[in-house]
Structures are given as C-alpha cells and as structure tokens.
Copies of this chain bind each other. A is one copy, B any other.
Amino acid sequence: MSHYTDPFRGEFDSLEEFADRVSDVLKCPVTIEDANHRLIAYSAHDDYTDPARTATIISRRVPEKVINSLWKQGAIPALLKSREPVRVPPIHDVGLGSRVAVSIWKNDEVIGFIWVLETNRTLSPEEMEWLKLAAKAAKNKVLQLYMRKNKKEERVQELFWKLLTSHIAAEDEIRAHLAAMQIPTAPQFAIVVFRFAADLTAEMERQISYLLQTTQQLPLLLYTTDGRDVILLGAPKTDQPLKELNAFIESFAAKMKERFHIHDVQCGFGGVYSVYRLIEKSYREALAVLALKEKLGDDINGVYGYAQLGIYQFFDFLLEKKRQGDWTNLALEKLQAYDRKHHSDLVKTFETFFDHNENVQETADVLNVHPNTLAYRLKRIADIAELDLNDMNQKIKLYIDIKLAKYEARG
C-alpha cells in the first residue's frame, strides 16, 4: 500500500459524510463511536444491518449487553491495547454479526472506534490497512467533538456543584438551568458516591467515566469527582428505586474489579427524592453512609443506601447523648459483667441473633453451636439481664445499646 492511494484524504464536512465514505470504500455498513461507545456517526445507505447495530443507532449508544459481551470476548480490551484492526466473530446471543473494528487514537489514548459490519463479505488484508488509515483520518473530527463536549461538561459540572451545596434554592430556577443544558428532568433521583482508596488518577477517571457512560442500568443525570470520590446524580426509573440503585452499585463495583482491577471501592447513596432542592440532602446522606462504613465495617457490609442504614442513621446523635452521660443500660452492663467473669459470649450471642433476624438455625450455624445451646443462652440472657424476650421493645433497646457500645469504642 503506497501513501498516495489513501482514500480518506481531503476534507469532510461532517463525520456522517466521513462514515459514508468509509462505507463506500469498504462496501460495508460503518459505525463510528466515541470512547464510551456512544454513537457519533453511521453510514446511511446500507441494505443490511444486524440487530446490534440497529439498537445502537436507535438509542444512540451501544447496548450495555453488547458492550459486556465484547469485553468478555476480548475485542474491546484488544482495541484499547493496539492500533491494529480486530475481527470479531458473530455473537448471536446479543445480535452481533461478524465485524471488524479499529480504535481511533490521540497520543496514547483511545478516543473512539470505527466498526465495520461484514454483511456478506470479508475484508481483505488490504482493506484492513485502509481501515487503519480511516481511523487516523477520523481523529481530528472526533477530537473537535470532544472539545465541544468538554466545554459543555465544565458548565454542567459547575451547576452540579451548586446543586450539591444547595447554592440554588428555588426549584424553578434549578429546572431552568437543567433544561438549558439539555439535562432531562427525572421524577426521582438520588446522589450516589463512590469512594476509592486513593485520589483519582486521570487514567482511573477515564475508566470510571467509561463504565458510567456505558452503564444503562441506571440513568445518570450528572457526574463529577472530588478527591477520591465520584459523585453521581442517578435517576431510578422504577418504583423500586432502592433495588435499582443497589443493583447498579453492585454491577459497577464488579466491573471495576474485573475490567480494571480496581478493588477498593466503597459506595453510599442518599435518600431518593423528587425535589431538586433536596439534592444536597441526598449528598449529605450519601457521605454519611460512607462515614459510617468506615467506622462500622462489617456491621453494614452490603448496605449502600441511607434508607437501609436503619438504626445507624441516628447513631451519631445517640452517641452524642451517651457521651453527655446519663445513658445507661443496666441489662447490658450485667451481661458484660457476666461475660467478663465467666468468659462467656452472651452479648455477642444476642447481637448475632439479632444480626440474623432472630433466626435460631442461622445464628446457631454462624456461632458454631447447637440450636439448643443458643436457646439456652437466650434464656440465660433473659434471666441475667431481666430481659423479657417476648418484648420486642426491650430487645431492640439492648440491641441498639450493644451496637452503640461497639460504635462508641471505634468512633
């Protein structure tokens, strides 16, 4: 291949025009995506496209399950490593026909992809080389798009921070701002905060941003970072927002781990509200979850939502009162005294029992004792602490005091 045969020389008005040109040259449908698999342009006059391409064009982004399978299959990792074109065999599960892709680079960074759908032909090695040229030719156009986006992004971030810090009080004004920036309104939303082990590097930010952009589980309205935190405004769309948020977090964490080998991610989210004025509150609550996780560790493992913190929501408050003095639980003190004297584990037994929803079997398993042993200990606890095991109220108080004591010891 000699340089004077480059078919992508010259100027193109738009990336659409460019896509059509590539399509003409290779005689295949062509799609151009940005680094986050959002559709930038696609060739128009194509006779055949597979379901995956159709879905991509309709929703202006690559469906998440397609992205997932391309990660699993290895195509995306390969494209992120090398400038060479990659051929992907058909993946029928997700409606992918056979295709060839190449990544678009700027310096050491991938800023987009060109996908060529091999409808009823296979690209020759020479055509593969042409594709590489196409990727180089696309670079500047894609970059321009980036610049424009970044400028807008900056303004959006500024707005987001104003919302997070309650700088705009009037609901109408907030709505006006959001509309001006083309940010859709949502009937309900919550702030989600991911906290990483260390301050975010540019590399990590790119990876996180990539994951967030490609995730379609939870609509994300806004996004920013702060030190080691990533802050999101998520907008659950079902009437079970907590479940949705939890699922999103789990899957995000899992993907961070398996795709980028980043393990140490904590997460919390605040209350789900429908008034934008409460964004700041949701943010505070998300931070409260993270602060509690730091302290309580195991006790609230797997809990991300402020709403699911349960009694821990007001622990700081109770602790304050406890420190003021006049907060005693004689029952607990007696149990502790007994434990100390007889090297027993009554307090822990009770705590575990409640941690496991008063389920005898489960608790006995966790403690490695016979269920009857557990029953015996509970009766013993009732005697020693003068606790009526049929009185939920008293049991709750003891449980809270046990947790509070732990909390106090740490906090």
Is A390 in the interface zone, CB < 8 Å from B?
yes
Check A393 against B331 for contact (C-beta < 8 Å): no
Q: Which of B309, B355, B388, B397 contacts A311 (CB 8 A)?
A: B397
Residue of B whose beta carbon sits closest to that of A388 = B308
Note all chain B residues with C-beta closer than 8 A to A271: 328, 330
Check A392 against B330 for contact (C-beta < 8 Å): no
Residue of B whose beta carbon sits closest to that of A320 = B317
0/1 interface trace, chain A 360-399, chain B, CB 8 Å (1 if under): 0000000000000000000000010010101111111101
Which one of A241, A328, A329, A354 has the highest number of Cβ atoms from chain B below 10 Å of its Cβ?
A328
A62 to B355, alpha carbons, bound, how many Å? 52
Check B310 against A331 for contact (C-beta < 8 Å): no
0/1 interface trace, chain A 329-345, chain B, CB 8 Å (1 if under): 11100000000000000
A24 to B321, alpha carbons, bound, how many Å? 69
Is A281 in the interface zone, CB < 8 Å from B?
yes
A318 in contact with B314 given A357-B390, A386-B240, A391-B357 (CB within 8 Å):
yes
- The residues in A between 302 and 327 inclusive whose CB is less than 8 angstroms from any CB of B are 307-314, 317-318, 321, 326
User: What is the distance, in angstroms, from A395's C-beta to the closest C-beta of chain B?
Assistant: 8
Is A290 in the interface zone, CB < 8 Å from B?
no
User: What is the distance, in angstroms, from A394's C-beta to the closest C-beta of chain B?
Assistant: 5
A312 to B390, alpha carbons, bound, how many Å? 17
A326 in contact with B400 given A358-B358, A392-B354 (CB within 8 Å):
no
- Looking at chain A's contact residues, the main secondary structure is helix
Check B242 against A310 for contact (C-beta < 8 Å): no
Is A92 in the interface zone, CB < 8 Å from B?
no
A317 to B390, alpha carbons, bound, how many Å? 26
Check A386 against B241 for contact (C-beta < 8 Å): yes
Residue of B whose beta carbon sits closest to that of A329 = B307
Check A310 against B399 for contact (C-beta < 8 Å): no
Residue of B whose beta carbon sits closest to that of A359 = B390
Note all chain B residues with C-beta closer than 8 A to A397: 309-311, 313
Check B394 against A310 for contact (C-beta < 8 Å): yes
Check B312 against A393 for contact (C-beta < 8 Å): yes
Is A287 in the interface zone, CB < 8 Å from B?
no
Check A317 against B326 for contact (C-beta < 8 Å): no
Is A152 in the interface zone, CB < 8 Å from B?
no
Is A272 in the interface zone, CB < 8 Å from B?
yes
User: What is the distance, in angstroms, from A173's C-beta to the closest C-beta of chain B?
Assistant: 22
0/1 interface trace, chain A 186-212, chain B, CB 8 Å (1 if under): 000000000000000000000000000
Note all chain B residues with C-beta closer than 8 A to A141: none
A309 to B330, alpha carbons, bound, how many Å? 13
Is A243 in the interface zone, CB < 8 Å from B?
yes
Interchain residue pairs with CB less than 8 A apart (23): A240-B383, A271-B328, A307-B330, A307-B386, A307-B394, A308-B388, A308-B394, A309-B393, A309-B397, A310-B391, A310-B394, A311-B393, A311-B396, A311-B397, A317-B317, A317-B318, A317-B321, A357-B390, A357-B391, A357-B392, A358-B358, A358-B392, A392-B399
Binding site for B on A (CB under 8 A): 240-243, 271-272, 281, 307-314, 317-318, 321, 326, 328-331, 354-355, 357-358, 383, 386, 388, 390-397, 399-400
